[in-house]
Amino acid sequence: MEARRAISYKRQSYRTNPTMLALIALCSLGQIAGTLVDAAAARHLVDLVIIGSWLSFYLVPTFERRSGLLFMLATRKMLDQWSLFDWQSFGLFVMVVDTIASFVISISMARHGREGNSADLYLSNYKLGKALGIGTFGKVKIAEHLLTGHKVAIKVLNRRKIRSMDMEEKVRREIKILRLFMHPHIIRLYEVIETPSDIYLIMEYVKSGELFDYIVEKGRLQENEARRFFQQIISGVEYCHQNMVVHRDLKPENLLLDSKLNIKIVDFGLSNVMLDGHFLKTSCGSPNYAAPEVISGKLYAGSEVDVWSCGVILYALLCATLPFDDENIPNLFKKIKTGIYTLPSHLSAEARDLIPRMLVVDPMKRITIPEIRQHPWFLAHLPRYLAVAPPDTTQQVKKIDEEILNDVVKLGIDGNKLINSLRNRIQDEGTVSYYLLLDNRLRANNGYLGADFQETMEGDFSLMRLYDGAPAISHRLSGLEDNHGTLRQQFPVGKSWALGLQSKAHPREVMLEVLKALQELNVAWKKIGHYNMKCKWLPSFSAYSENDLGIPFYSGTSVDENMMPGRHSYVVKFEFQLYKTRDDKFLLDLQMLEGAHLLFLELCAALLKQLRVQ
């Protein structure tokens, strides 16, 4: 298909030149004919052009061919009726023909030269090379960044194709996610160039192809090699989840290998953002790698479906086959939903323990990423740079490499402007050059974000927690440490607390009790799921008291919203969701959507009182 398209493209380019040459010749001969007094000589010249036009019948695109012949035949007709026109009238006619022909030439250039001219204009910093492949929305080409000399991959997305397939949101989501991410095992997006007709994604060039092809060529891998790939995959997936992104389409075809056989996770088009208290429902991804809850159309939080896909990938690495495979899709879905598969005898005991824990049908009982990181099979031969938590994205941009910065300045980029662009994550010629040089050096050192660099960053983070006074950053970093498990081994802390309200009662009974309590508090609600409600509460101002801190607390029954001036300022909107926990309890979680925080806290206290929670 690619060869046929390339041949078609070359043929069309070849056809464009004779078209414009013929029309230019028409203009020139028309002007010459206008200067001749002898009508017969003019007719002979026009006859020659008509003959030439017919000879190039199959070399000229339809619109220009018909237009050119029309003008020439009209000119020939005028010359046949020479006696009806004087020289000045004929000269005026030739000028009209000349103008129209020039207009046709401009249309031809716009139609056939748009792609090449726009690419040259917008991609002036790159030297385009051969096509690496053809995707859903366009081609992927190799290119050279002229300033640094490093290779990049340019993904061309045609806007018309994107609109025709109703995929604008998918493309925008992938671009937004890739702009955010900076991880050694996630493909890097350096720059986005948008034109009226196309979107150009300037991405990291990965030359060794897909992990899928590697498995097909090599067969089942030795456990050490498979473990190395798996460790890199888990590191990248963990980074996604820490940034509240679930990939949802993990498979060997979406895992590329660089020149040193390091994993690069690609294709975030089906990914989505995870929100606290909200579930996803979209059934997407490849069926062989999709989790049971996904193909069943059930609600899922997000991270657990990626764990399942990683389990299928690990099985494929170690066995060179898929755990769930069937040409008949209903049969395939049945196998996935029931978790029916076999473990080959050649697997080690630790591998035979890890895979079944990842391929558990019940997502609540499935192993998590932090637990995978603590599994003995995963910890064996773990590289130092993967043994520590990856730096937070917002802090990575604050760490500027002075050596790389000086190298970019030597290329002619203003240093102060570059520092400002790096800190504010602005895409320009300087930042693209900086990250290309940085990535190339780190790849050459066989470590994108080495352990030494990360440990230094972690030291910087500790100082920031002490002196910067940034609670959001402190909360973020504590989450990274807690999820990673390294610090928990050194300082074990018993989990004696839980978020929300927990109960061992039947979920229907829990919901009835909660709804009764909300009714007592004059809270209106609307069902949006089986165990999920959206609620609205308007407090009463008939009486209130203040505590020692001067914070007002309102009491009494709710009043009619329509009787209260400025009532909309005090409306509290929230959701509550009932979850099933790992120890077979049910947890009630409340999440504020809109309103004053203190009013929401008062409502929570009143709800606890109604439920008689101690």
CA-based nearest residue to 87, from 42, 26, 28:
42
The alpha carbon torsion through 305, 308, 312, 318 (nearest 10 deg) reads 140
For every residue of 222-259, DSSP letters joined together read PHHHHHHHHHHHHHHHHHHHHTTEE----SGGGEEE-T
Length of the chain: 614
Residue with tokens 């640094």: 148
Looking up tokens 């990535």, which residue turns up?
Answer: 439
CA–CA–CA angle 41, 44, 49 (5° rounding): 130
Q: How many CB atoms lie within 10 A of CB 376?
A: 10
State the Cα–Cα distance between residues 82 and 42, nearest whole angstrom: 10
Q: Which of 511, 529, 507 is nearest to 585 (CA)?
A: 507
In whole angstroms, give the CA distance from residue 539 to residue 521.
9
For the record, the structure tokens of 612 come out as 């008689």
Q: How far apart are alpha carbons 8 and 2 in whole angstroms?
A: 10
Catalytic residue among 198, 249, 258, 306: 249
CA–CA distance, 337 with 342 (Å, rounded to integer): 15
Q: Classify 154 in phi/psi space as left (phi over 0), alpha (psi -120 to 50) or beta.
A: beta
Q: What is the dihedral of CA 72, 78, 80, 84, to 10 degrees?
A: -170
| Cα 197 versus chain centre, distance | 20
Can you tell me the distance from the alpha carbon of 608 to that of 514, in angstroms, rounded to the nearest whole number? 10
Query: Nearest-CA neighbor of 245 among 267, 271, 263?
Result: 271
Surface-to-core class of residue 40, CB atoms within 10 Å of its CB (0-12 exposed, 13-18 middle, 19+ buried)? exposed
| 326 is an active site residue | no
DSSP 3-state assignment of 449?
A: coil
Question: What Å distances lie between residue 204 and 51, 188, 404, 475, CA to CA?
Answer: 53, 5, 18, 32
77 is an annotated ligand-binding site residue? no
Indicate the annotated binding residues for ATP: 155
List the catalytic residues: 249
